[in-house]
A and B are shown apart, each in its own frame.
Chain A
Amino acid sequence: MTTTAQVREHLRGWAMPHVLCPGCAHGIVGRAFLSAVDDVGIDPDQMAVVAGIGCSSRLVGYLDFCTLHATHGRAPSFAAGIKLARPELTVAVFSGDGDGLAIGGNHLIHAARRNIDLTVVLFNNEIYGMTGGQAAPTTSVGAIASTAPRGSVESPFDACKLMIGAGATFVARAAASEPYTLARIFADALDHEGLSFVEVLSDCPTYFGRYNKLGSGPEMLAAITRSDNRIAIPLAGKRSIPTIDPPDLPPGVELGTLHREHRPVFTGRAGGAT
């Protein structure tokens, strides 16, 4: 992982500090992404990042690449246009769970179906942050949101399963609390030819943390780690560990690279240079 001093070369320093709340893990995710861009050796002038609307999307404005702040949910479609017109660029999409899976769900699954050579980063914090803490398509059953004051009753999406089903050729899930693994997965995703989808377990201390009494930035980062199946499942069986109360554990999730295949990419089929 590159140092902060190196990573800062990719920031628009004049725009910093960024607008995100104190302790919001989105910044950690952005940092790991910049580190991966360096590790893969992508020329910053050949890197394009497209964002929709939302807290995570706001990050794009601070990246010193070719950046585009697009309309709500439509980032994958803008990105597809860039990739078709300028296939030599490495194109990534930053999207939140609301932006990507609700407003832009349609655009996301069709980008996967077409296997457009993009890297889509989905910041999942189980809530709409910027618009005031409404329940998102990823909010866990029982979690409090401003539109679910007594707990959400809807089943959330499993974004990775959705994207595997839709035809994405690289699908991974990683946690903001593990920045080194996250950076490595981003590097793999950027290297992959075809639609790479990385769901990142991030957080929102301001809304999700406050509504659900999960604490602020440090506590929420620790909670992300505990939602990892590799940790949660073995620990759940160990009642001898006093701080772990098995019934209270959130349902565990699988982390890591979940799917990888090779399929012709859209730009090639459409006759553009690849």
Chain B
Amino acid sequence: MKLELSRIVQGCRLGVLTGLGKTGQHSLEIPGCLLYTRCATVPHLTQDTLHTLNSLPSVTQIAVDTLAEHHEVLAEFKEGVRKFAGLHDTVLYCSLHDPATPCPPGHITNKTVSVWGSGGRIELTAQRFMALQTVLRPDWYQCMADGETWPTNTSRKRVRKAVDRTLAHLDECLLLHHKSPELKEAEVFGAIEGGDILEERVRSARETAKRPVGGFVLDGFRSDAMDQEVRGQLIAAVTAELPAEKPRLLQGVGRPDEVISCVEAGVDLFESFFPYQVTERGCALCFSFTISPDPEAAGTRRSKVLESNGEKPDADADADAAAIEVPGESGATSPENMTRFEMDLKDKKYREDFRPLVDGCTCYCCKNHNRAYVHHLLVTNELLAGVLLMLHNTAHYLGFFSALRGALVSDRLQDFKKRVLQ
């Protein structure tokens, strides 16, 4: 794996990760995002529907959370999770937790972390964690970490402990990593902890950077647990300590406005659980991100996105018509958590709206269906709603990242920000 940085604009790193995958055939542009999965499947999608999407990220995220319970089966299978799940040719990154399903706190010890699958809590020691990685056989994986610094009023002492434990886990995992023939080609991503305490963040970054890791995971910055201003400052302080040639992946942040700020603070990679959460609340991403090619006209020309986009979330939206039963509880998927980047397709006003979800969108949903149809699927609780929304939301989100890179290439970050944040 090699990170080629082509330019740095206002703190934003533009570049490409090359030589990814078993034979080095894959590459990934940064800033960028990974493909989100649950149990190694992009939610709601089969491979047929998934591949209606153009330019999928070359790296797919899996999580120990949804896979730990299948450890024994995977061990017997012997050929890794990619083949087990019938995944396409993709680089695999394995995180500890599923970003869309926060874990209940209070289950971390000095020697163990806990993950939650469909059958409940599974406690992992570093040994067991590494044994799982050897059967999953990811290309990258996040080292075992204590990221439990997000609850409000977490004490300084607890934060320090999280940093210490995470470094200890890293050392133990690295030791086991180098002994494992199955993980010979894999890269370990060290987790940077430290809660909202600057000194601890810096210490965690410096110490982790000393270890032979392939990249860094910025942990404990979840959207719901920290203000963007604090997050931005902490991330900037952390990335200043990290070697330029290794990728930095931020966990738990997906909102477009926050993504832009975090890219400015030096983050390279994001997860893509955000479009999934939007899908689960029956919404469609509709924010504008297209900037006109002519800098003079920027901000004055109408965007390709329809005027009704960017509407305020409707208070009396049909809340009881939840799209799909969400496996596992996650508050983020409930309608109250709607952001200004999306439209609530359950709203009655879309009943006879025969426009595509977003004008000009080339996703399968927008090319073949309209708002009225998706509205109908949502109010009748039909499974296809999740499929179509997941396709559109993923396409829109990938389009946003692509436009962000385009804006950096053409030195138009300010226009881009204005467009997204309008």
Are A and B a genuine interacting pair, yes or no? no
Q: Which residues of A contact B (CB under 8 A)?
A: none
Q: Which residues of B contact A (CB under 8 A)?
A: none
